Amino acid sequence: MHGALCLTDFEALARERLQHFAFEFLAGAAGDELTLGWNRAAFDRIVLRPRVLVDVDAIDTTLELFGETLAHPILLAPVAYQKLFHAEGEVEAARGAVASDAIYVVSTASNCAIEEIAATGARMWLQLYIQSDREVTRDLVARAEAAGVRALCLTVDTPVLGARNRQARAQFALPPELSTPHLDTVGRDRLSVVSNKRQSITWKDVEWLQSIAHIPVLLKGILTGDDAALALDHGARGIVVSNHGARNLDTVPATIDALSEVAERVAGRVPLLLDGGIRRGTDVAKARARGANAVLIGRSYAYGLAAGGAEGVARVVGILREELLSTLALLGKPRFADVDRSIFW
């Protein structure tokens, strides 16, 4: 692991360590994986415009999010079934989050319970898939709040799963010995994200969730300005521009390309986050310049978890933070909060 210098180096390490079906589940996306490539290619096409002879002795990456000060703008995205990647699963990932001062967004489909994850002392948000049985969601929200979860991310881009051909070819199935403590009360077969039953949630459910929650609700998986406007109309307290790591509808645009129209409609009224394809410090700056307050990484930290447990997760975040610091210095933009379109060529 110590030879890993950038985030993509961790992918090869994870590939060596993981069983084939687990690696393909993690690395794969939907359909022909076109959006998966675009998520990266769109960042790569953006050309930077550096300014020189700016005092960059003090670089400041702090930001305010829901009344809290974060040391840096990198969060860990919800990634299901982390015992596939490490024997201690989400608990180990959360230790990595603590070590790297990052907010950890726990997936509903985790293999560890929210209370166990909380015991690591990690700052947590919880991702939700609303179940057809509303009481299950109500219970989970209450458990999450009792465990100290600070925000909820309702995933809105998954009424069904996309065509995950790659994981199917590798015969991916969750090993029966891995439990999903937030879902076992419903019975896994009734969980749409596992069984791929349709799970139509609508804007009414957003209002319902907001009405039972005492913590902010963000919507994860918005790609259009129109849906961003509806999200605000229905009381969302934050938006995550995401295409689910290209795992659902193939040929939707790269998230960095969708960000501008969402940012325009949101106009700073609520925090805006982005995930999908973030691999370099320059990507984080580009997302900021197009209007994101913060970003999330998904596969990269899971590769780190597979490669080296909590230390691997912390290395991944640490490398990205270091790259962000050097990017800001080299751009002549010492404050992350000040990064704007002037950094584009």
Ligand X SMILES: Cc1cc2nc3c(=O)[nH]c(=O)nc-3n(C[C@H](O)[C@H](O)[C@H](O)COP(=O)(O)O)c2cc1C
Q: Which stretch binds ligand X (CB under 6 A): 55-63, 115-123, 244-252, 315-323?
A: 244-252
What phi and psi, each to the nearest 5 degrees, are found at residue 274?
A: -140, 140
Helix or strand run (H / E) with residue 220: strand 217-222
Contacting ligand X within 214-243 (CB under 6 A): 220, 242
107 near ligand X, judged by CB under 6 A: yes
Q: Which is nearer to ligand X, 244 or 333 (CB)?
A: 244
What residue type is assigned to position 112 of the chain? C
Among 10, 25, 43, 172, binds ligand X (CB under 6 A): 25
Which whole-number Å values give the CA distances from 245 to 22, 58, 70, 190, 275, in the listed order? 16, 34, 24, 24, 7
Minimum CB separation of residue 308 from ligand X in Å reads 18
Minimum CB separation of residue 259 from ligand X in Å reads 14
Closest CA to 341 of 285, 281, 262: 285
Minimum CB separation of residue 342 from ligand X in Å reads 26
Cα–Cα distance for residue pair 104/98, rounded to 1 Å: 9
How many residues touch ligand X under the rule CB under 6 A: the total is: 24
319 near ligand X, judged by CB under 6 A: no
156 near ligand X, judged by CB under 6 A: no
Q: Which is nearer to ligand X, 26 or 333 (CB)?
A: 26
Q: Which is nearer to ligand X, 282 or 333 (CB)?
A: 282
Minimum CB separation of residue 305 from ligand X in Å reads 11
| Position of minimal CB gap to ligand X | 298
Cα–Cα distance for residue pair 129/262, rounded to 1 Å: 22
Contacting ligand X within 269-288 (CB under 6 A): 275-278
Contacting ligand X within 170-209 (CB under 6 A): none
Q: Which stretch binds ligand X (CB under 6 A): 91-99, 178-186, 257-265, 291-299?
A: 291-299
- Is 128 in a helix, a strand, or coil? strand
Taking each helix axis from N to C end, the angle separating 225-233 and 255-266, rounded to the nearest 10 degrees, works out to: 40
Which segments of 200-253 does DSSP mark as H helices, in order? 203-212, 225-233
Among 26, 65, 74, 270, binds ligand X (CB under 6 A): 26
Q: List, by residue number, the catalytic residues.
A: 244
Q: Are strands 104-106 and 124-128 parallel, antiparallel or unpaired?
A: parallel
Minimum CB separation of residue 311 from ligand X in Å reads 20
Instruction: Please answer whether residues 13 and 306 qualify as being in contact, where contact means their C-beta atoms are separated by less than 8 angstroms.
Output: yes
Cα–Cα distance for residue pair 117/120, rounded to 1 Å: 6
Among 245, 304, 308, 318, binds ligand X (CB under 6 A): 245
Count of beta carbons in the 10 Å neighbourhood of residue 263? 21
Minimum CB separation of residue 337 from ligand X in Å reads 23
Site string for ligand X, 44-83 (x = CB under 6 A): ---------------------------------xxxx---
Among 72, 164, 286, 299, binds ligand X (CB under 6 A): 299
Q: What letter does residue 273 receive in the DSSP assignment?
A: E
Among 111, 155, 180, 282, binds ligand X (CB under 6 A): 155
Q: What letter does residue 197 receive in the DSSP assignment?
A: -
What phi and psi, each to the nearest 5 degrees, are found at residue 57?
A: -60, -40
Q: Which is nearer to ligand X, 30 or 270 (CB)?
A: 30
298 near ligand X, judged by CB under 6 A: yes
What distance lies between CA 77 and its chain's CA centroid?
2
Which whole-number Å values give the CA distances from 22 to 27, 97, 271, 343, in the listed order? 9, 22, 33, 39
Residues that bind ligand X (CB under 6 A): 25-26, 39, 77-80, 107, 109, 127, 155, 220, 242, 244-245, 247, 275-278, 297-300
